[in-house]
Structure 1
Amino acid sequence: MDRTPAPAVHPLRIANFRAYWLSRFSGTIAISAQAIIIGWQVYGIARDTMDIRQAAFMLGLIGLVQFVPLFLLTPVVGLVADSVDRRWIVRGTTSLLVANAAVLGILTWAGLLTLPFLFLAAVLVGVARAFAGPAYSALAPNLVPKESLPTAIAISSIAWQTGTIAGPSVGGLLFAIHPDVAYAAICAMLSVALGLMFLIGPVPQPPAQKDRRPLQRILDGFSYVRRNRLVLAAITLDLFAVLLAGATALLPIYARDILHVGASGLGFLAAGMGIGAATTAIFFSFRPMTSNVGVKMLVSVVVFGVAILTFGLSTSFWVSLVALIVAGGADMVSVYVRTSLIQLHTPDAMRGRVSAVSQLTISASNELGEAESGLMASLLGPVGAVVVGGVGAIAITLVWAYLFPELKRARTFDPPVMPEHEPLHGVAKP
């Protein structure tokens, strides 16, 4: 009797997953596009009455006000994603984002936009992302059969990361055409994302752990990450590297006051990381990474740091653009490895909570990184802030390679086979 397992169905051939992937891709591009526009508008309004360093500090505050609600809500949102229908979580948060973008667009069109409105909009985006992130991440494995899960996770990661990095380029280019066009497009993309989520039929929800109190279940997610050193290493490496070397928040400063290329130049600079990320994502869609995944992640973070350092020192638009393309490609490699390791090493009953912990570190590296960049730019100037960040990313990678040898030893994404009698950390015995 032939016991050869049937070949795995490609996730994009499954209607539910196809709707999910397109929804996540469209929504992520819209959110990231709006982020760069909000940053440009904050910097533009601030520069009317402030010098460069003071306006840079205001840019940093935008990142901070998005991070604070996510930080405060992280213990709750993971539990919600493991307890409530994940589709409805995403539908509700996407509806909030549509309304938020529409109000910003109307205020921009009417010439009534002010810094307080922009900061309030940033807070609402932070709240929506806090709930949507874990729900989106934990939903993907529920839409495909087990044998298709690795591919589904990789493709889901590609949708999110490509959207995150390509979004600013879309926002910058659309805003250069006209602010009204930009906000109309963002509302349209978010509406498409919302509509696609309603096309996803019922999906299995992990059974609630009735023998575990809500507070204990929340702590289980943090405990699991702490005990799994490979997951911990992957999460924290990306956290500190991007926290130090994130330069996206300072692109409006470079476009306006260093490279002198204006709003249209900002669009091309923001497109740089998107081009690098998209190219790398397409490569992985045809040639998935299968060997030495940990070492490749370490190398990619070093390359990311070198590229950011080059961007910081450059006074040439074209050199700066190439450096950002390289940085985007390297960042895509890192996120591809990190996300695959986290999802494949985490049981479904805990994916919401572990994804919430991962999202917290991602937001810390992105939004809190924007605050750090703004603060450093106000103290050292924008060039000094970017250079110090690039050097810091390289240094932290070398330290992590020493502190977490598990990364260097990670050959594939497959988790180790555990004895049947040994329970997974943080998951109650049946």
Structure 2
Amino acid sequence: MALIDKLVLDVDPLRTSREFRYIFTARVVSLFGLGFLVVAVPLQVYRLTGSTAQVAAVSAVLGVTTFAATFVGGVLADRYDRRRVIAVARGTAGVAFAVLALNAFLPDPKMWVVYVAAVIDGACGGISATALMAVTPSLLPREKMAAAGALMALTGDLGAMVGPALGGVVIAAGGVGVAYALAAFTTAVTTFCITRLPSLPPTHVADESPLRSVLSGFRYASGNRVIGGVLVCGFVTMLLAGWSVLVPEYATEVLGAGPSVVGLLYTAPAVGAVIGSLTSGWTGHLRRSGQVVFLLMAVSAAGLVGAGLTATVAVALLGLAAHGFGDALTDIVRYATVQKHTPDEYRGRIAAVWAAQVTAGASVGAVVAGAVAALVPISAALPAYGAVGLVITALLWATWRTLRRLDEGTSLERVA
């Protein structure tokens, strides 16, 4: 029974912290609303323009704006009341979604409205996500950071699985305008939940310009061997995030499979990630968290290798599920380690670096995966891609002594 308790997802943060319950509820509701947008925006753009390039352009505008806004959010979160920063950002995004709904109901919807809304959504999303990460350590004890990370990861994984599916049903029944209206409504609920939090100002505000503030955050991260090491490990997980671009050709040429199997291959990592989050209770009791980060990174990369070394669909699905499992647990342990070792006055800016990695991950990984596919046959591309991750993980383990020797039961000075 004790072993089961250690494995099962730790929900203590939800039981013990009213404020964390508000954040959790806000995130769950928000992710479902954003899931509607994932389907509605590209579908409307394609209907209006008949151009896949336009769909890609809107996506690129959203991604670039989000990436830039994460750093703005980091500065704001380290200067102003974090509750207010999140509430204003989400409230503004909700107005943009309402405008999208009104535009969609017009006889002749305008594309420029979609582009403006993409800029606003990207800016608000980058700012609010960064500030939200900076808030969590203020609400929970240090030993509950892994549990908080697991709960947040679970909401993201479930949102990615269920939100777009519900969005498709909503659009089929009522059109994209209804989906936009529901996204605006869920964002209003999210904003209300955030306003129920207490005031959450940073404990110390540096007297420096915004640009210097961003640079000082980078200097602190690079100078701290624990935080810097965790963020470098995050860069490796970024490199592995582009596996999805290999799937269509791999499924066709190696597995001899059709669209239904392609859908399952895309879903498998999310299933593994959910299993990882649900069995993450043990992550809250770690001492050698650095060693565990490296081990889980190896599991994630090895899953891609295993998926690519087979022509059997079932084995490929298991390999991709193992990749998602290792990736989710890696993020949970890294999240907890960063939160435990970041002083309050730097939390916003360190969260910005974290969020920027997440935002840029799929794009950077896609470039790396594409380069691998250009160098080797598709039958070898997926295992070669995973092998790159294994080699880099091994090199980091061998060279990053501080993270490898990190013991949460000792002081940083003893492992530095």
Aligned residue number for residue 206 of structure 2? 209
- 1:300 and 2:296 correspond: yes
- Kindly state the Cα deviation for residue 80 of structure 1 after the two structures are TM-superposed: 0.8
Question: Is 61-70 or 358-367 further displaced after alignment?
Answer: 61-70
AA aligned opposite 1:208: V
Post-superposition Cα deviations, 1:220-276, rounded to whole Å, max 9, x if no partner, equal: 2111111112211211122233334433567788899974335x973x555433332
State the secondary structure of the residue aligned to 1:246.
helix
Question: Could you say if the C-alpha distance between residues 193 and 255 of structure 1 is closer, same or farther in structure 2, counting changes exceeding 3 Å?
Answer: farther
If the length of structure 2 is used for normalisation, what is the TM-score?
A: 0.77
If the length of structure 1 is used for normalisation, what is the TM-score?
A: 0.74
- 1:401 and 2:404 correspond: no
- Kindly state the Cα deviation for residue 20 of structure 1 after the two structures are TM-superposed: 1.4
2: CA distance, partners of 1:203 / 1:328: 34
Question: Is 294-303 or 17-26 further displaced after alignment?
Answer: 17-26
AA aligned opposite 1:416: S
Question: Could you say if the C-alpha distance between residues 67 and 378 of structure 1 is closer, same or farther in structure 2, counting changes exceeding 3 Å?
Answer: farther
2: CA distance, partners of 1:193 / 1:253: 40
- Kindly state the Cα deviation for residue 296 of structure 1 after the two structures are TM-superposed: 1.7
- The percentage of aligned residue pairs carrying the same residue is 22
Question: Is 377-386 or 223-232 further displaced after alignment?
Answer: 377-386
- Kindly state the Cα deviation for residue 106 of structure 1 after the two structures are TM-superposed: 7.0
Question: Could you say if the C-alpha distance between residues 225 and 34 of structure 1 is closer, same or farther in structure 2, counting changes exceeding 3 Å?
Answer: farther
- 1:357 and 2:332 correspond: no
Aligned residue number for residue 11 of structure 1? 13
2: CA distance, partners of 1:389 / 1:187: 40
- 1:291 and 2:287 correspond: yes
Question: Could you say if the C-alpha distance between residues 177 and 67 of structure 1 is closer, same or farther in structure 2, counting changes exceeding 3 Å?
Answer: closer
Post-superposition Cα deviations, 1:286-338, rounded to whole Å, max 9, x if no partner, equal: 66241332222112112212223444566665444433322221111111111
Question: Could you say if the C-alpha distance between residues 320 and 284 of structure 1 is closer, same or farther in structure 2, counting changes exceeding 3 Å?
Answer: same
- Kindly state the Cα deviation for residue 189 of structure 1 after the two structures are TM-superposed: 4.2
1: CA distance, partners of 2:391 / 2:352: 27
Question: Is 395-404 or 320-329 further displaced after alignment?
Answer: 320-329
- Kindly state the Cα deviation for residue 27 of structure 1 after the two structures are TM-superposed: 2.5
Structure 2: gaps spanning 5 or more residues: 1-10
- Do the aligned residues in 2 keep the contact of 1:23 with 1:192 (CA within 8 Å)? yes
2: CA distance, partners of 1:377 / 1:85: 47
Match of 2:165 among 173, 193, 200: 173
Question: Could you say if the C-alpha distance between residues 44 and 246 of structure 1 is closer, same or farther in structure 2, counting changes exceeding 3 Å?
Answer: farther
Question: Is 354-363 or 281-290 further displaced after alignment?
Answer: 281-290
2: CA distance, partners of 1:140 / 1:394: 32
RMSD: 4.3
- Do the aligned residues in 2 keep the contact of 1:239 with 1:362 (CA within 8 Å)? no
Aligned residue number for residue 199 of structure 1? 196
Aligned residue number for residue 259 of structure 2? 261
Post-superposition Cα deviations, 1:356-385, rounded to whole Å, max 9, x if no partner, equal: 122222222234435655787799898776
Which residues in structure 2 correspond to 1:110-259 (within 5 Å)? 122-144=118-140, 148-151=141-144, 153-175=145-167, 177=169, 179-180=171-172, 183=179, 186-210=183-207, 212-248=208-244, 259=257
- Kindly state the Cα deviation for residue 115 of structure 1 after the two structures are TM-superposed: 8.8
Match of 1:76 among 72, 77, 102: 72
Aligned residue number for residue 39 of structure 2? 37
- Do the aligned residues in 1 keep the contact of 2:68 with 2:126 (CA within 8 Å)? no
AA aligned opposite 2:259: V
AA aligned opposite 1:166: L
1: CA distance, partners of 2:313 / 2:121: 31
- Kindly state the Cα deviation for residue 397 of structure 1 after the two structures are TM-superposed: 0.9
1: CA distance, partners of 2:248 / 2:196: 38
Q: Give the structure with the higher percent helix.
A: 2
AA aligned opposite 2:189: V
